[in-house]
Amino acid sequence: MLYLTFFVYPTIEALRISFYKWSGFSKEMEFIGLHNFVRLLRDTSFHAALKNTMLLLLVGGAGIFVLAFLFSFLLNSGIRGKKIYRSIIFFPYIVAPVVHAIYWGLLVYSPRKGILNSLFGLLNIKALEEFAFVAHDHIFGSVLFVVIWINVGFYLIILLAGMDRIPGHLYEAARLEGANEGYIFFKITLPLVREVLTILLVFWGFNAIRMFDLLYAFGGLLPPREIWTNAIYLYIVGFGKRDPIFQLGYATAIGFVTLILIIIFTVLIRRLLRREIYEY
């Protein structure tokens, strides 16, 4: 009943509203059929937002999971202080996104007194000393790095929990047979954490496609188009920036397309990582 009330009904209602031209603040709703969806096909701003969304999903996801597996490999290699390192890596995830936006935007990436520019100045690297990390041409890459830095700790903790469930005798037997660490990772670790990895990939896809708060806060009151994603563009179309726009019908169409992207990504991941039964 709760699922029907809070997911199925709002989804059906959103699809219905997407067929209308509606400001969201009046009783009059003009039925326009598929016009909003046809408009999306010609909307260059939506194309740019969709491109950024896919870059966030794919490039950001690749960076997060590569680092998560790398850190998990290092932390499971017998290093001392494992719990301390794990806590340090996880810490950025518990900090509010707005705080990250302020910290990175004003203290790290600031072109005048930013930590990075000052560091490159001390190292006498002139090209990077004057590099504008928050300029429109570079801002998305800068934010993408922050997204990876924030999220890698969460996915690392879950992966480590999945790896801790793997019986140690499997690794011991493999090493006695002469297997190297790479072989052990791809033939033992990866298959046995496949179920956990599937859940994490789906979770990342859901969060990446709908990500809003960090990106919007990083862009300020008037986020540049270079940083727009589907979620940000939906908000701008629906509620405006400084000047109200109030195109709730069109914004709902953007939201429905975003939902379709989440469903497609989820189905693809579940098909690519089909569950297999391993006995040990």
pLDDT tops 80 at residue 14: yes
Per-residue pLDDT averaged across 42-68, rounded? Answer: 95
23 lies in some domain: no
DSSP state of 109: S
The mean predicted confidence, pLDDT, of the chain is 87
Domain that residue 138 falls in: 33-272
Per-residue pLDDT averaged across 12-17, rounded? Answer: 89
pTM of the complete model: 0.89
pLDDT tops 80 at residue 118: yes
Per-residue pLDDT averaged across 118-134, rounded? Answer: 81
Per-residue pLDDT averaged across 191-198, rounded? Answer: 89
101 lies in some domain: yes
Per-residue pLDDT averaged across 88-100, rounded? Answer: 92
28 lies in some domain: no
Q: How many domains does the chain have?
A: 1
Judge whether 248 and 24 are in contact, CB under 8 Å: yes
pLDDT tops 70 at residue 276: no
Query: Residue 206 sits in a domain of what CATH number?
Result: 1.10.3720.10
